[in-house]
Amino acid sequence: MTALFRRPFPAFRGVAIEAGHSLLVAGLAGVLIWITRPFGLATWPAATADRLIIELTTLCLLTDLVLRVGLPVLWFRHRDESRWTTGIEALRVVVELLILATVLLAWLAWRTPMSWSPGRWAITVAITGLCAIGPVLIRVLLTERHLRLRNDALLPHDEHDPRQVRASIAQSASVSDSFGPEPIRLTAEDGELELPQASLRYVHAEQNYVGVVWWIDGRRHERLLRMPLAEAERQLALSPVLRCHRSYLVRLPAIESAQGNAQGCELRLRDVPDVIPVSRSRVAALREAWKSNN
């Protein structure tokens, strides 16, 4: 069961998708408020009650847009999303609903003569969270499964086994390892690194540094260099290296296998145990790069 909540999940699926989710949440909130109108707004004039329902629905939409679009755009711009999981996503959605409930109750307390004691307020928010846990978990797990199956279908497949990446990709690795006689050279603010072409496995962003991972003499090696990932990508332009993720560059001949997941797909490399994420938006580019290396 624990493994279900450790599956990769996209932290941000784009403005259009997240904004559509906010519209859905606001619409559902408006419907629920309308359904419960006889219990809380029955004594109100119809016009006033309708106006309040519109205000609450609009407030719900604006708050959710901030939580699902505004904050993630700022938060994940410079962060690695590869560690985001279904469990973290489910927790985020529950917290999001708790914040929405708190904001709506605060609006009601301000706009209406209803009296809300701190205890009643806390109980209402807690009940909202408890009622949301089950539906949220089901939604997140179903979404993860749908995205995983869809992204898995985007990968190059063997015609006899739709779950397996074509064998020719692995076979082409040995051919592509002879790419370029020149060694790889990376020059950074704090030093220089020179490697044989065939030893490089991948490069990943680490705040203001990049981590360069290579395999030589039967061991995994890694060194941090003070440089942006974009600069490392520029310096590796003549090598068979592809940016597969916002935070990762991978050497194509080092790829051993690939498997789809909700974030896009995951790559496993020869010799090293590391799993490299591929962003959903970069799956097609990876597929074309593999084809060109065959």
**Which of 8-17, 97-106, 150-159, 258-267 shows the lowest per-residue confidence on average (mean pLDDT)?**
150-159
Beta bridge partners of 54: none
Mean pLDDT in residue range 128-134: 81
Look at 43 and 189; give whichever has higher pLDDT. Answer: 189
pLDDT band at 67, cuts 50/70/90? confident
| Range from 44-58, 137-151, 190-204 that averages highest in pLDDT | 190-204
Long-range contacts of 59-63 (CB under 8 A, 24+ apart): 59/103, 59/104, 59/107, 60/25, 60/26, 60/29, 60/30, 60/100, 60/103, 60/104, 61/22, 61/23, 61/25, 61/26, 63/99, 63/100, 63/103
Alpha carbon 113 to its chain's center: 43
Expressed in angstroms, the distance from the first to the final Cα of the chain is: 40
Phi, psi of 38 (to 5 degrees): -60, -20
Average pLDDT over residues 59-72: 88
Over 70: is that where the pLDDT of 78 sits? no
Ranges 172-176, 181-185, 216-220, 275-279: which has the least confidence: 172-176
Order of strands, edge to edge, in the sheet holding 219-225? Answer: 219-225, 209-216, 200-206, 248-251, 241-245
Task: Give the pLDDT score at 166.
Answer: 38
Q: Model confidence over 257-272: pLDDT tens digits? A: 888 776 678 888 989 9
Of 140-144, 217-221, 226-230, which range is least confident?
140-144
Collect contacts of 273-276 with beta carbons under 8 A, ≥24 apart: 274/201, 274/202, 274/213, 276/202, 276/244, 276/245, 276/248, 276/250
Burial of residue 34, with CB atoms counted within 10 A of its CB: 0-12 exposed, 13-18 middle, 19 or more buried:
middle
The Cβ-side half-sphere exposure at 54, using a 13 Å CA radius, reads 6
Tokens 């050279």 belong to: 185
So what's the pLDDT on residue 294?
57
> Would the pLDDT of 238 be above 80?
yes
Q: What is the pLDDT of residue 158?
A: 40
For the entire predicted model, the pTM comes to 0.58
Instruction: Return all residues near 9 (Cβ < 8 A) that are at least 6 apart.
Output: 84, 85, 86, 88, 89, 140, 143, 144, 147, 262, 263
**pLDDT tens for each residue of 80-100:** 566 678 888 888 888 988 898
Q: Is residue 110's pLDDT more than 70?
A: yes
Could you give the percent of the chain with pLDDT greater than 90? Answer: 14
Query: 């949440």: which residue's tokens?
Result: 25
Give the mean model confidence (pLDDT) for residues 226-240. Answer: 90
Q: Given pLDDT bands bounded at 50, 70 and 90, which one contains residue 142?
A: confident
| pLDDT reading at 214 higher than 60 | yes
Greater model confidence, 3 or 51? 51
Whether residue 29 has pLDDT greater than 50: yes
The pLDDT score that the predictor gives to residue 165 is: 37
pLDDT score of 232: 93
pLDDT digits (tens, 9 = 90+) for 166-182: 343 343 344 344 444 57
| Average of per-residue pLDDT values in the chain | 79
Q: Which structural domains are found in the chain, ordered by start? A: 2-154 (no CATH), 167-293 (2.40.50.1020)
Answer yes or no: is pLDDT of 61 > 70.
yes
Q: What is the dihedral of CA 188, 192, 194, 200, to 10 degrees?
A: -40
